[in-house]
Homo-oligomer: A and B are copies of this chain.
Amino acid sequence: MSEVERAAERQRRGPRADVQRNRAALLAAAQRHFLMSGVGASLEAIAKEAGVGPATLYRHFPSREALLAAVLQTRADELVARRTAIARLDDAAEALEQWLRAMEDYFSAFSGLPEPLMAAAREHRPDNPLTLPCDLLITATDEYVQSAQRAGHVRTSVRGYDLFLAAVSVAWLKGTGAADAESLDRLRSLLHTGYRRRTGQTQPAG
Contacts and interface: CB of A to CB of B under 8 A. Distances in A.
Nearest to A186: B162
A166 B194 contact: no
Interface residues of A, number: 42
A183 interface: yes
A189 B158 CA distance: 10
Interface in A158-180: 158-159, 161-162, 165-166, 168-170, 172-173, 176-179
Given A122-B177, A158-B186, 16 more contacts: A114-B176, A115-B176, A118-B173, A121-B176, A155-B205, A158-B190, A162-B187, A165-B187, A166-B187, A169-B169, A169-B170, A190-B191, A190-B194, A197-B206, A198-B203, A198-B205
